[in-house]
Amino acid sequence: SDNISGGSRQKLDENAGSSNVIVVGGASRTVDFKMKESEHRKAGRRLKNMINGDMLMPRMTKHECQMNATENEPKRMVCQPIIGEGVFRFDCSEHARGAAYPSFSFANVKDREAGITTCRLPEYIPVYLSSNGQQIVTVELPVGTCFYGTGEVSGPLERTGKRVFTWNTDAFGYGSGTTSLYQSHPWVLALLPSGDAYGILADTTYRCEVDLCEASMIRFVAPAVYPVVTFGPFSSPSQILASLYHATGNVFMPPKWSLGYHQCRYSYDSDERVLKVAKTFREKGIPCDVMWIDIDYMDGYRCFTFDQERFADPKSLVDKLHSSGFKAIWMLDPGIKCEKGYSVYDSGCENDVWVLQADGKPFVGEVWPGPCVFPDFTQAKVRHWWASLVNDFVGNGADGIWNDMNEPSVFKVILLPCFILLGSSEDYIVLVYGMLMAKSTYEGVKLAARKKRPFVLTRAGYIGSQRYAATWTGDNLSTWEHLHMSIQMVLSLGLSGQPLSGPDIGGFCGNATPRLFGRWMGIAAMFPFCRGHTDSGSIDHEPWAFGQECEEVCRLALLRRYRLLPYIYTLFYMSHTRGAPVAAPVFFADSKDQNLRKVENEFLLGSILVCASTLPDKGSNQIQFVLPKGIWLQFDFGDSHPDLPLLYLQGGSIVPVGRMIQYVGEESLSDDLILIIALDEHGKANGILYEDAGDGYDFYEGEFLLSYYEAELKSSVVTVRVSRSEGSWRRPRRALHVHLLLGSGAKLPQLPLQVDAVGVDGEELHIVMPSASKLASLLAEADSRYRAMMESANRIPDSQPQELPPCKGAELSSIPVELTTGDWALQIVPWIGGRIISMLHAPSGMVHISTYDGLHDELLLQTNLYLHASCGTQWLQGEIEVGGYEEYSGVEYQSAGSSEKYSIIERNLEQPDKDSISLEGDIGGGLVLHRCISLPKEKPEILRISSGIVAENLGPGSGGLSRVVCLHVHPTFTVQHPTEVYVAFTSMAGSKFEFGPESGDLTFEGDGRPNGKFALLIL
């Protein structure tokens, strides 16, 4: 039937009929989409040069579409197979297919448009509704399905019960439930109860709600029209990722040096400071490959310039870094200072490259250098212009470029939806601004050094950004929660098509403790991208800044990473060429095992299982980890430590490792090669090693060596050999060291026996197995040594957080403070944000509560509150709420569903006549929430509650300036005696509403909202 229940799953009956026609018929009624012909032509002109010159020509001008305001019944979507087996595009109708904007996510935009012939039918058919210009797409999956992906998101790895919004946001100090971060991936990976995997992409660059709140149900809500693309079901999540990469493009092949450790802070403020930090790494024997230079290198924060006092000779600085084995990466932001005589600004004006307002004038927003204009990266000519600037800039010696603030982020002004591109108020390309900037930067670096691979790091992005840039998880906090969250976020990004990511190690905002920093370094050393970074107001966050114990753990962690670099580089080659994952959740080892689906303190690095403790009071040896079924043998490099993760190798795996080095340039093809081997239950193992020049593009011409190793146990002898090779390189003459792991595969942490043998790479190597009795004895000895090592390790101390400064007028306390006048008696608890826990109004009659909330002293709401004289004490909780911010009883909601406790930084209770209380709550980024509760003496019948967001301590890197324009304070009230309360108001449309407790929770939107006044009737 075409008329189906809301959100129900439609699984095709493959036994019905004999037709192999794959296009599934739509519903009996189609949804039409209304857009004037002139608007189509305008949109067509805007899109003409967006992505690849004239490649993307919109088809919307071919026909006129109409959209009904509301569709009451969901309908099945129209299906078309695309790209490859098991991939389907769904649209609301044939007309909708023609009206959809071209894809930014697909690597080849034509792939989404061209149908293919296949006999496979989709197993799950999404359904849709249309309501007030929104297209609501729903697909229901079997009960017990788990959800993952959704891109760069905070919070749990398994996403059931969560809702996110794709809206690139400068989310400084985000919380575990923040719903919009720096990147947007309208993508869900579903793991079905059977272990099969399924993926679905809402291919829209409009703001999109990804709603997973209902179990086993995926719902996308975004402005119409857009297609959804489904992948699978396939037998494993790895196949889903490979199929997604086939559509959106594989990750760029990173230069090998970029997989080493990176050191950064905001800001190493002079070339002398940069060189001193680099020298200290070498003196202390802590591996590092890259030094990063933040915006303080610029002349007045003008991009593509250098401060003539602190960075007078950037080429000389880079030459000195290169001589010590370091690379240099420099930051470039999109905001260009409005200043005649500044060459970049003048050139941009001459070439007409700026983002425009609706009136045709350049959009101007304040960023670090002051008033700035912004390149319109949706235009091909602008991307070429930017790439030419990057080309010239790289000539100063830059080895890579860091794109920050490219959501884009603007201070003091609400950027969106007022951010105008190509003279339009459309916001469908906002989400790809950062990706297109990264693409332009990538092309510029490539132009400057044609024989080297570009390395670009971008903060903002869209699904598909992995084609051009790595990313990091933004301005995180120096907390244990954010340490744990970094695992979740790196894995979620990997599940959404971005395998090259990592956090700011130690946290960007705040001061890490020694144990937190050391533990973070141990875990992040196993992440795909590994960089330490911190804010300007924090203490030093270099590995040696937290004492000897932390320094030693950081050294061990990074030496461990560098020994594994041959393997990590191989993983990226496989990801670049075949769409294989690099870091993945542990359930990738066994997608049928329900016990693995919510594990968050473990992850797979290829076939290596990394088990980490994110608990401050427990080391990795004190936690019983959940291991997948089968053989998993623990191993180390003689570096086991309670503050480092445990490493396990899956049975049947061979992992190549290298010698200890301080930077990638120290290694050589002639170095001894080491293979770590864990046999499976059949006595076999295999693995690969990819080797090339580490940079450049000759590998595309076959200039590489890809070796396939295998090991097999027969008659108590393990034979190790190269089974086959690919590439034109000849195998170097080098020694081969084999570490064969033998053990019980016990669940408790214990090292297995390691049997070593030495041979020549490329020749067969034979290892004689010890007898059973000898093996048992050796295993016991190995376990004893491991436990002694753990017990004798110097644990990293953990210092206590600094105490809050003394408060004005009252100590931090849960004791209520009384505020009284002739008419009112209030009890207020300062420590939870000025919550009014008791409110008594003595006389009867009408009482007004005037509430102003927000910036610029704007009066937003006046509430009429009617109280009966005999009502006595009533409890009234204040909730401050809006789509991007809430403040509720001492809890900050940076976005819908995101809560984070804040601390009160000032309590001023020493008012002259005890007629007011002022409080301030720190909400991060240099911002405070100011609240004043007052009883004006001249009007004793008035109770006034005012709240506002105040910028107190903002500076470059804080992120607060861009947050302040996204945070608003709007009031709602909940009376704690609902049986005695009724609410009445007149809507903006003029309708009158009155409802009581029997009405339940109600939400009013649009013109249904109160017209500025509403009444709480307390009977």
Catalytic residue among 71, 140, 404, 892: 404
Amino acid at 578: R
Q: What is the enclosing helix (H) or strand (E) of 698? A: none
Would residue 333 show up in a list of annotated catalytic residues for this protein?
A: no
The runs of H, that is alpha helices, within 564-639 are 565-578
- Find the distance separating the first CA and the last CA of the chain, reported in whole Å: 52
Can 214 be counted among the known catalytic residues?
Answer: no
In terms of Cα–Cα distance, which of 686, 754, 751 is closest to 722? 686
How far is Cα 387 from Cα 391, in angstroms, rounded to an integer? 6
Whether 929 contacts 911, CB under 8 Å: no
Cβ atoms 554, 532 nearer than 8 A: no
Report residue 66 as tokens. 């109409």
Contact predicate 604/648, CB 8 Å = no
| Alpha-helical runs (H) found in 124-200 | none
Q: Is there a catalytic annotation at residue 359?
A: no
At position 830, the amino acid (one-letter code) is P
Given 111, 407, 695, 900, the catalytic residue:
407
Sign of CA dihedral 110, 114, 120, 124: positive
Cis upstream peptide for 1010 (omega within 30°): no
Largest CA distance in the chain: 99
Do residues 64 and 96 make contact, with C-beta atoms less than 8 angstroms apart? Answer: no
Which of 111, 152, 289, 475 is an active site residue?
475
Q: Which residue has the tokens 């930077």?
A: 663
Helix or strand run (H / E) with residue 237: helix 237-248
Rounded distance between C-alpha atoms, residue 408 and residue 433, angstroms: 7
β-strand pairing of 78-81 with 87-91: antiparallel
As a residue count, the chain comes to 1019
b (16+ CB within 10 A) / e for 138-169: bbbbeeebbbbbbbbbbbbbbbbebbbbbbbb
Token pair 């086991």 is at which residue? 640
CA angle, 291 as apex, 290 and 297 as ends, to 5°? 145
DSSP state of 837: E
Query: Residue 378's CB: how many other CB atoms inside 10 A?
Result: 20
| Residue 11 to residue 170: CA distance in whole angstroms | 41
Using alpha carbons, list the distances in angstroms from residue 7 to 209, 218, 1003. Answer: 16, 9, 21
- Token readout for 858 is 């704007």
Distance CA 164, CA 176 (A): 12
Q: Is 623 helix (H, G, I), strand (E, B) or coil?
A: coil
Q: Which strands form 327-332's sheet, in the order they lie side by side?
A: 501-502, 470-472, 456-458, 400-403, 327-332, 290-293, 261-263, 530-532, 504-505
**Cβ-Cβ contacts under 8 Å for 801 (sequence gap 6 or more):** 513
**Could you tell me which of 587, 735, 567 has the C-alpha nearest to residue 657?**
567
Three-state DSSP at 190 gives: strand
Amino acid 212 reads L
Burial of 684 (0-12, 13-18, 19+ CB in 10 A): middle
Residue 934, φ and ψ in degrees, nearest 5:
-140, 155
Q: Scan for tokens 């930014």, then name that residue.
A: 104
Residue 280's φ and ψ, nearest 5 degrees, are -65, -40
The C-alpha atoms of residue 88 and residue 108 are separated, in whole angstroms, by 16
Q: Which residues are catalytic?
A: 404, 407, 475
